[in-house]
Amino acid sequence: MLDQLDASPEDFVHVSSHTRYDLMPMHDMGFRNLVLLDRGCDPVTHGYDYITVKSLDELNTMLGI
């Protein structure tokens, strides 16, 4: 995907609601703009440097949308 888009991981913001199956693998692939949509299901996972939001509205505000 990155080659086809002529992009790098820092060009993306990855938003997920699960740490284990979404956020952690993306981090391991080099993505660093990570956002966890906290729905109260996943535990806090230290060492992955993600931002936690409670709603997509909160994320939109952070992004200036």
CA triplet 56, 40, 59: central angle to 5 degrees? 15
Q: Edge-to-edge strands of the sheet including 14-16?
A: 14-16, 34-37, 51-53
pLDDT, position 21: 84
Token couple for 20: 């284990």
Q: How far apart are the first and last CA of the chain?
A: 25
Q: pLDDT digit string (tens) for 15-51?
A: 998 888 889 899 999 999 999 999 888 877 888 889 9
